[in-house]
C-alpha cells in the first residue's frame, strides 16, 4: 500500500471512530478492547522509545492502524444490525 493511500485511509478511519464509539449497535467489548490497545500503544513502556524520531512515528502508525481496525470491525456490527424499512429497495420479502 502506498504511504499516501495509507495516510488517507487512516484519516478517513479517524473521522469515523467517534461516531462508531457513540453508536449503541457496536458491542461494548469491542470499544473496551480498542481503548485498552490504544492505552498500551501510547504508554511510556515502548519498544522504540529511546530513538528520538522513531518513538513518535511508531505510536502514530500503530494508532492509525488501530483506528482502521476498529472502524472495520465496528462497521460489520452496524451493517449486521441494520433492518430494512418497508419502502427500501433492498428489503427481502
Direct distance between the N- and C-terminal alpha carbons of the chain, in angstroms, rounded to an integer: 41
Q: What is the pLDDT of residues 38-81, one digit of tens each?
A: 888 877 776 555 566 666 677 778 888 888 899 999 988 887 76
Q: Between helices 28-42 and 52-80, what is the axis angle to 10°? A: 180
Average pLDDT, the chain: 77
What pLDDT, on a 0 to 100 scale, did the predictor assign at position 34?
92
Tell me the pTM.
0.68
Q: In the predicted model, what is the mean pLDDT of residues 17-40?
A: 90
Task: Domain ranges for the chain, please list them.
Answer: 16-76
Higher pLDDT, 12 or 56: 12
**CA–CA distance, 74 with 64 (Å, rounded to integer):** 15
Per cent of the chain over pLDDT 90 is: 12
Q: What DSSP letter does each residue of 15-48 carry, written as one string?
A: HHHHHHHH-TTS-HHHHHHHHHHHHHHHSS--TT
Amino acid at each position: 500500500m502506498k504511504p499516501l493511500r495509507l495516510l488517507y485511509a487512516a484519516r478517513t478511519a479517524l473521522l469515523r471512530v467517534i461516531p462508531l464509539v457513540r453508536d449503541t449497535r457496536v458491542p461494548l467489548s469491542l470499544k473496551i478492547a480498542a481503548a485498552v490497545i490504544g492505552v498500551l500503544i501510547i504508554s511510556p513502556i515502548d519498544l522504540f522509545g529511546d530513538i528520538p524520531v522513531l518513538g513518535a512515528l511508531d505510536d502514530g502508525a500503530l494508532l492509525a492502524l488501530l483506528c482502521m481496525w476498529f472502524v472495520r470491525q465496528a462497521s460489520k456490527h452496524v451493517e449486521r444490525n441494520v433492518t430494512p424499512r418497508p419502502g427500501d429497495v433492498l428489503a427481502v420479502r
